[in-house]
Amino acid sequence: MPNRERWWDRANCKEEDVELFFEADLLAAPRREARRICEACSVRQACLDEHVDIPFGMYGGLTWTERRVYSETVLGKPVGKWTLFPTGISNRRKK
């Protein structure tokens, strides 16, 4: 089987504390730190595309509230249903 790279293998958050990205919805300091990590991430757009309707946490440099606005204004789509098992979460390790 060929060794195919997945986009999340290149995620900047792979080695970060997962709590940072979930606290980003609620608290200013974690939000700044998570956004800084996301802004430098080479797979940011793929992450945002895949997690645009996840109703918690920061993905692609946007909080849930920001993703709702992005989905409605940029994508022109109403926000979808909740997704219980987003791809990126299982790939983040807690320190």
Report the candidate in 8, 17, 12, 20 with the shortest Cα–Cα distance to residue 40: 12
Of 13 and 52, nearer to ligand SF4 (C-beta) is 13
Encoded one letter per residue, x for contact with ligand SF4 by CB under 6 A and - for no contact, window 5-44 reads ------xxx-------x---------------xx--x-xx
Minimum distance between the CB of residue 1 and ligand SF4, rounded to whole angstroms?
A: 24
> Helix 44-51 to helix 28-39 angle, to the nearest 10 degrees?
120
Cβ atoms of 30 and 23 within 8 Å: the answer is: yes
Count of positions (residues) in the chain: 95
Number of residues that bind ligand SF4 (CB under 6 A): 14
Say which DSSP state 93 is in: P
Reduced to 3 states (helix: H, G, I; strand: E, B; else coil), residue 59 is: strand
**Subset of residues 57 to 76 that bind ligand SF4, contact rule: CB under 6 A:** 59-61
Give the residues lining the site for ligand SF4 (CB under 6 A). Answer: 11-13, 21, 37-38, 41, 43-44, 47, 59-61, 88
